[in-house]
Chain A
Amino acid sequence: MAEPNTLTHFEAALLPHLAAAYNLARWLARNDHDAEDLVQEAYLRAFKAFDSFHGGDGRGWILAIVRNTCYSWLQQNRNQELAQVFDEELHTVEGHSRSPEAMLLRNADAQLLRDALEKLPVEFREILVLRELEGMSYREIADLAGIPVGTVMSRLARGRERLQRQLTHPVNKEA
């Protein structure tokens, strides 16, 4: 696997997905510097595991590795962030924001939206990033995150509810 040819194939197949890889890592790590290191580490891991890549969905394959790399890192550095998710799962969806302001989202400032998304717990954040920013299907997200398709939909529902609440009634407490 260490032939120069392999490296050329690897780069041709996976470097085109660098933007998606970086975007995911950046949203999970929430800072530039760590995101860059994590993406680099993920590409090295991917290169060592390139034998197990049999063509097909290169983006899904590299994103799964980026995600694993980021989760290992989160576990070591921000354990409390992951632990919090289990509390979140117990919460039932509260009343939705019915305020007319919600309808003004069309004009929502990108920065406001970005801040609100950053404050979401990581499991909702990642599903929203994969769906809205990367345009991935429920099936692709389910495979990547190792969860059932139904869970993808319910997490998206919960994630968007929370985002709506953040935007209409900003409370800076989450995550």
Chain B
Amino acid sequence: MSCEEYNTLIHGYLDGELDLLSTLRLEAHLPECASCAQAYGSHRALRSAMSSGKLNFKPPNELAERIHLSLHQASKAERVASLSVWEALKPMRWRISWPSMSIAAAAVLVAMVAWRLGSVASRPSPDDLLAQEVLSSHVRSLMANHLTDVPSSDRHTVKPWFDGKVDFSPPVKDLSGDGFPLVGGRLDYLEDRPVAALVYQRRKHFINLFVWPSAEDSRLKTVMRQGYNLFHWTQSGMTYWAASDLNSTELQEFVRLVQGHDGRIP
């Protein structure tokens, strides 16, 4: 075997990728050949200098968020496109290749304009995206049998549980006297940050109350999605989202109690 061939094997050897036979040959050759031994030494030094981690480029913090948002939009656009408009458009596109097509062409044009307008109008706002995220978290908490991390009806158990898990102290109220017993708390993840999820109950309906600090100021808004009611507001530097399949009237009553409009704030 020539030194040139050994010089390639050195790399497999350094990387721990060489078969046994070649390893034995190389190990026999190195002590006998000063030139190959030196090459081995310098490549080994280069390897350790390179694998120190100093050469890695770190993604900027906002990149994950940017990708997250673009995926949400793509996911939403996909859902819109898979609805009937797209299906209706396909056969019309096909017809356009036929001679007597002016009517079909006009129809296509109208459909396309309508579709473009529709997609512009349905471009999700950050609030829409967040609402979808909140709803997904709510549904997931019910499906995955992971409603609470700390099952307790005692707010003095639930509130301190969040210490050290989130960088704020969520306000936890006891609303059992108003027919909304506390079920427990859970750590959840929204808008790329850990948030507190407080779980309350009304009869058979669960309510997820998501809380996290926010500089924004927002009045009470309500959204109805896929049969769920969502209420959203900010108060004293905290953002609140309440999600439930409970009817809108009772959920609003819950929201007012959380907001402290009954005057019995603990």
Contact = CB atoms under 8 A, between A and B. Distances in A.
Contacts of B202: none
Contact of B75 (A7, A18, A131, A160): A7
A44 interface: yes
B66 A160 contact: no
A153 B17 contact: yes
A154 interface: yes
B47 interface: yes
Given A11-B68, A11-B71, A19-B58, A110 B52 contact: yes
Contacts of B135: 4
A104 B41 CA distance: 10
Which of A6, A7, A27, A47 neighbours the largest number of chain B CB atoms within 10 Å of its CB? A7
A40 B10 CA distance: 38
Given A103-B41, A157-B8, A6 B59 contact: no
B8 A7 contact: no
A135 interface: yes
Contacts of A137: 17
Interface residues of A, number: 55
A39 interface: yes
Nearest to B41: A103
Contact of B78 (A2, A8, A10, A104): A2
Interface in B24-66: 35, 38-39, 41-43, 45-60, 63-64, 66
A32 B82 CA distance: 35
A175 interface: no
Given A2-B75, A40-B66, A160 B55 contact: no
Contacts of B53: 133
A160 B35 contact: no
A139 to B, nearest CB: 9
A43 interface: yes
Given A19-B58, A22-B58, A48 B7 contact: no
Contacts of B11: 153, 156-157, 160
Contact of B136 (A4, A43, A96, A154): A4
B140 to A, nearest CB: 8
A26 to B, nearest CB: 4
B57 A160 contact: no
Contact of A36 (B39, B63, B72): B63
Interface residues on B, range: 35 or more
B67 interface: yes
B39 to A, nearest CB: 5
A113 B49 contact: yes
B74 to A, nearest CB: 6
Nearest to B47: A132
Given A2-B79, A18-B64, A40-B66, A26 B49 contact: no
B189 to A, nearest CB: 10
A163 interface: yes
A3 B57 CA distance: 33
Given A2-B78, A8-B136, A15 B51 contact: no
Contact of A2 (B48, B55, B57, B82): B82
A7 B73 CA distance: 11
A26 B169 CA distance: 40
Given A8-B136, A153-B17, 14 more contacts: A7-B75, A15-B67, A35-B57, A39-B63, A40-B66, A98-B38, A103-B45, A106-B48, A110-B55, A113-B50, A132-B50, A133-B51, A135-B51, A160-B11
26 contacts: A2-B79, A4-B132, A7-B72, A7-B75, A8-B136, A15-B67, A22-B59, A32-B60, A36-B63, A39-B67, A40-B63, A44-B70, A47-B71, A93-B7, A96-B42, A97-B42, A103-B42, A104-B45, A113-B50, A132-B55, A153-B11, A154-B8, A157-B8, A157-B11, A160-B11, A164-B43
